[in-house]
Amino acid sequence: MATESFEEIVEDFEFMDDWEDRYRHVIDLGKGMEPLEDALKVPATKVDGCASQVWLHPKIEDGVFSFEGDSDAMIVRGLIAVLRALYSGLPVADVIKVDARAEMERLGMNEHLSSQRSNGLRAMIERIRLVAAEAAS
């Protein structure tokens, strides 16, 4: 499966009436990601505050942000894929300007995730913003 842009994901969601279809699509996005190498699943890349195990490995090359990620939960792998579509390829300074909550609202995620998943999503976004802020300073 080719990597979708965030706008393509938004467009796909607009054509899906059923939340089960949207969840399946998010899970499929996660299945399309390469798994994170075990060597990168270390305490420094582990995201605290998630109900499942989550690892984010950021990369910054020539001021451009990207990251790899993985989780032991399929829906969370899908959320990582959505966040990759949202953030990867942006200049580091622009990453911290993204209103991720508003962008996720475009997908209807805010009201359809459990409180644990919402907390985990927030923790992933905070980690991304922290790494970008440190790199930008």
* Active site positions, annotated: 50
DSSP assigned state of 114: -
The helix, strand and coil proportions of the chain, stated in percent and rounded to the nearest 5, come to: 55, 15, 30
